[in-house]
Structure 1
Amino acid sequence: MHPSSLDHARRMWAGLARVPIVFPPRGGVSVVASPESWLCPPGWAGIVVLGGATIATVPDSRSVEFVRDALLAQSGQATIDLDRLRATSRISDVLGPATLAYLDAGDFTAVHSTADVEKLPAAHRDLRSFLASAGDADRDESGLEEIMSAAFVVRDGQDVIAAAGYRSWPDSVAHLSVLTAAGHRGRGLARLAASAAIAEALEDGMLPQWRARPEPSRRVARALGFRELGTQVSIRLTT
Structure 2
Amino acid sequence: MNRRAKLRIGNALTKGPWTLHVPDRVGWKYVESQHSLHWHDPQGLTWRSVRLYCDACGDDEEGYLDPIARLARWDRLDDLQAAPEGWPDVRIERFRLPLDCPTVQAEVRRQQEAVQALRFRTLGLPTRRDFGEHGPWEAGRFEIRTGGGWDDLKWRGDLGTDSPLADALDRLAAIVRDAGDPLPPTAFVECYDTSFEALADGRRWDWNGIPTPPE
TM-score, normalisation: structure 2:
0.26
Q: TM-score, normalised by structure 1?
A: 0.24
